Amino acid sequence: MQHAPVTPPAGNALDPLTARLECRGPVVLPALLLCDFGHLAREVERLEEAGAAALHLDVMDGRFVPQLTYGMVVVEAVRRAARVPLEVHLMVEQPERTVADYARAGADIVTVHVEGLADPRGTLEAIAALGSKAHIAVSPGTPVERVEPFLDQCDGVLVMSVEPGYGGQRFNPVALDKLAALAALRRHRGGGFRLCVDGGISTETVGPVAAAGAELIVAGSAVIRSANYARAIGELEQLARASA
């Protein structure tokens, strides 16, 4: 099988995302999970044309979460098709075994769950050493205290507002308290980590998460199941900006 070259991981590729965040406020990252994988490159193109600043890719191994989605080959294919930064959200057992591969495959952000890590600090450092941003995720049942010791090592914290595993679930408001607690921690002790949220985002929930401090807002079904991607992304970002 012939592999086309993939874009190297590049911290620089995030600069447009950071710039957009700083000048326009919270950014919506469409999640590909529910998109038409039979026409993946076309879906990536449609999302970019619709104004997506970055894309969110859900890698599930059927063990850490019940569902099995896709792995490296699909991430590489999206990398080749996309111009915008990619966040790879690893919902897998022992993510430390594959983070380097995903970073090399072109993930600008590699997100790992604290619940799945034997050595969170070492894993975050390994991601950063490869030039990708290292984000740490917390599931709804995991307290913020679990990630607190690693805030200096990470570029972002992804607060899950649904149980990881499936798209289209109902938003769990426990995420609002966690975002607010992390925002307060960042204010008091400094630190450059981004606040991110994933799961159940809709026109009803995007305002509250932005008000609680979320800057990178993942939206799956709210975008992919809409008739018009540009309108859906635009509306969510407008509502987020109005509440931030």
- Residue 199 contact among Zn ion, ligand DX5, none, beta carbon within 5 to 8 Å by kind: ligand DX5
Token pair in block for residue 107: 């993930």
Give the number of residues written for the chain. 244
- Residue 78 contact among ligand DX5, Zn ion, none, beta carbon within 5 to 8 Å by kind: none
* Catalytic residue status for 58: yes
**For the window 173-212, what string marks contact with ligand DX5 as x by the rule CB under 6 A?**
-------------------------xxxx-----------
- In angstroms, the Cα distances linking 191 to 151, 155, 195 are 7, 9, 11
Identity of the amino acid at 36: D
Give the whole-angstrom CA distance, residue 137 versus residue 23: 25
Residue nearest Zn ion, CB atom distance: 89
- Residue 133 contact among ligand DX5, Zn ion, none, beta carbon within 5 to 8 Å by kind: none
237 belongs to the binding site for ligand DX5 (CB under 6 A): no
Give the whole-angstrom CA distance, residue 207 versus residue 154: 25
165 belongs to the binding site for ligand DX5 (CB under 6 A): yes
Give the whole-angstrom CA distance, residue 162 versus residue 175: 9
18 belongs to the binding site for ligand DX5 (CB under 6 A): no
Min dist. Cβ of residue 201 to ligand DX5 (A) = 5
Cα of 186 vs its chain's centroid, Å? 19
Which of 89, 113, 135, 194 binds Zn ion (CB under 5 A)? It is: 89
Query: Which pairing describes strands 216-219 and 86-91: parallel, antiparallel, or unpaired?
Result: unpaired
Q: What angle do CA 186, 194, 118 make, to 5 degrees?
A: 90
Binding positions for ligand DX5, rule: CB under 6 A: 31, 33, 56, 58, 89, 162, 164-169, 198-201, 218-222
Active centre residues (catalytic): 58, 198
Binding positions for Zn ion, rule: CB under 5 A: 58, 89, 198
